[in-house]
Structure 1
């Protein structure tokens, strides 16, 4: 008969499962510090020995890491998503940039469609709050804050899609973008007209999400990333043309 005796789960395993789910759902993020042992034991209403046993288990499986004199952190579980050799290969070839953007367009279009259907009211408030911060940062001459909020806005949509596989995959992709592997994001925000267009596009995406219109949300994301692709293509072409022009100038000056 397919029945077994019911066994009471150890407290430490309950702690393990709760922390696992927080990491899986993207609530605890790579590099995030956990509360102190005393505080965490109080919050979870478990003994400190049970908590230590759970933390040790999670460390053994590579989900948590201890930093000397700094506490326990969520491990950089995204770090191994791409090998260093592949990351370097991405960085050396423009072809990877446009494949990356095409991949994002497909995945984020789907995420926006899902977020409009499946996102909670709180999810949509988070997205709207980030857009408000983008609008506040838009007036600053330095575009770095607006560029950082741009990434947060897109990740909030992916989080609102409530697909944990998509969430972790896209976090790894955005981590490469933050490192400047594909292109310098801040360059996109340096031209005032481009900044205006990008902000308007984010407003359109947000409006479609708040209206819970899946088709419009997907179309708005796809149009936005199409704009980014065109702008980058023009930027790369201008850089190549400038390099050729400098060669001509050097040749003429040397004659």
Structure 2
């Protein structure tokens, strides 16, 4: 008896694979626009973040072109296979970051030292400078979040936060997504980071948790608002 290995595929890749098969069959034909994110989300029974991640996977495969403010269009060239790494999608990573970093921030408010607070102030200034550059790396933004994670005093939490940032920076679908949004003008939100720092300076755990949670939820909302509908 021949048995094939059972593979568990992430939800966005399941959606992308179905759409890939339809595109291969000519539905919709090359040059045509795919249905809106909202319509696809309703048809597949998933959230819009999953549809957005599926569109990114299809773009990486060369099957579609995402045109900001216009929609997603089927390309005429054959394209390649879908990404095989099966990495978490960028919105999955953001949701995980919101859970872990909000609690890390609350703990940090009670445990952070003066040197770490000074480092965060310097990084906030660096972030403002980076936002003015035409080409940016978001290095100060990453360091800002990782300093807070370290300041929480829990190596398991801080290690998880660093791992999530590593996923963000190294997985094919995430790097492609963040490169695209940077090119479209997305930048770290300075006021959000300043509110986080203020809460940490005041040692208010609840305020720090809320500031971090609101910041990352705003990032998710803003990215979804840039809809290809």
Shared fold per TM-score greater than 0.5:
yes
Compared with structure 1, are the counterparts of its residues 173 and 181 closer, same or farther at alpha carbon in structure 2 (3 Å cutoff)? farther
> Who wins on radius of gyration, i.e. which is larger?
1
Give TM-score, length-normalised by structure 2.
0.57
Whole-Å Cα distance in 2 between the matches of residues 140 and 209 of structure 1? 28
Contact preservation (8 Å) 1:90, 1:97: no
Give TM-score, length-normalised by structure 1.
0.51
Secondary structure in 2 matching 1:207: helix
Partner of 2:85: 88
Counterpart pick for 2:99 among 106, 130, 135:
106
User: Where in structure 1 are there 5+ consecutive unaligned residues?
Assistant: 1-85, 242-255
Partner of 2:146: 155
Secondary structure in 2 matching 1:89: coil
Q: Tell me how far 1:107 sits from its aligned partner.
A: 0.6
Partner of 2:219: 228
**What's the CA shift string for 1:219-241, capped at 9, x where partnerless?**
11111111111122234x41xx4
Asked if 1:171 corresponds to 2:167, the answer is no
Whole-Å Cα distance in 1 between the matches of residues 212 and 181 of structure 2? 17
- Higher deviation after alignment, 182-191 or 113-122: 182-191
User: Where in structure 2 are there 5+ consecutive unaligned residues?
Assistant: 1-82
Structure with the greater relative contact order (CA < 8 A, sep ≥ 6): 1 or 2? 2
Whole-Å Cα distance in 1 between the matches of residues 222 and 143 of structure 2? 21
Contact preservation (8 Å) 1:109, 1:219: yes
How many equivalent pairs are there?
145
Contact preservation (8 Å) 2:105, 2:148: yes
Partner of 1:42: none
Q: Tell me how far 1:143 sits from its aligned partner.
A: 2.6
Q: Tell me how far 1:176 sits from its aligned partner.
A: 1.1
Whole-Å Cα distance in 2 between the matches of residues 187 and 202 of structure 1? 22
Q: Tell me how far 1:118 sits from its aligned partner.
A: 0.7
